[in-house]
Structure 1
């Protein structure tokens, strides 16, 4: 039996529909390289979060925010009317720096590190794959 690709948007959509049909409130899958959590929240919609372990390499002063699933890359929330923020800008480890979307599913991308968001590595609106580099963060020394 082959391993299930939990970064595949079709797999995530299938799991979400199956959970909803079964009346299950949520599912969490943890693996050494990351975690997928789907919470079926009824009227408030489904929330999906995914994390990938990306420890910084020794001697490097920057980190990369990677796509945690395949989908369409957005720098700002599609429903937001806010003015896009310019680069470079300071971010904390918990800041949402972008989104990856598949249909009605929108996954926020957290900085994961505190520092200065210096570069955009993918074009807004582009289709990205799991693990594709999206942002570069300069880490404090």
Structure 2
């Protein structure tokens, strides 16, 4: 039996549909390389979260926001009318982008306050787990 790739968008979409059809509230899978959590939230659809974001190196003046799963990278929400221009200030809780699988969007949080300075992936690009997406320079 081969290992299941939990970073594959098709696998995540299949699991989400199966959980919804079965009336299950959620699923959490933990492995040495990270964690995947799918929560079926009724009328709002499913929420997916996973670990794997790289914390900044000690003494580093910047950090990279990485893809927590495979999917399409979006800089702003698809229904947003306001484009996100760079550079721009962000707080630790700000959503700086999304990774989408089908109709499900996983928000990407800044994690630290600073200035969002650089795109490392093109909006709309297919990205894999751990791919660098954005760079944030810390404020001193």
C-alpha contact 1:34 1:53 (8 A) present in aligned 2: no
SS of the aligned residue for 2:106 comes to strand
| Structure 1 unaligned blocks of 5 or more | none
CA distance in 1, matches of 2:79, 2:53: 29
Tell me the matched-pair count: 140
SS of residue matched to 2:135: strand
Question: Which consecutive segments of 4 or more residues in structure 1 shift more than 4 A?
Answer: none
Offset from partner CA, 1:26-68 (integer Å, 9 cap, x none): 1122344433221112222111122214222233211000111
Paired residue secondary structure (1:60)? coil
Q: CA RMSD in A?
A: 1.7
Equivalent positions of 1:54-73 (< 5 A) are: 54-73=54-73
Q: TM-score, normalised by structure 2?
A: 0.89
Question: For residues 30-45 of structure 1, what are the structure 2 equivalents within 5 Å?
Answer: 30-45=30-45
Pairwise CA distance, 1:118:
0.8
Aligned-partner SS, 2:51 = strand
Establish whether residue 133 from structure 1 lines up as the match of residue 132 from structure 2: yes
SS in 2 for 1:73: strand
Instruction: Give the TM-score taking structure 1 as reference length.
Output: 0.88
| Contact 2:53–2:130 under 8 Å retained in 1 | no
1:138–1:105: structure 2 CA closer, same or farther, 3 Å change rule? same
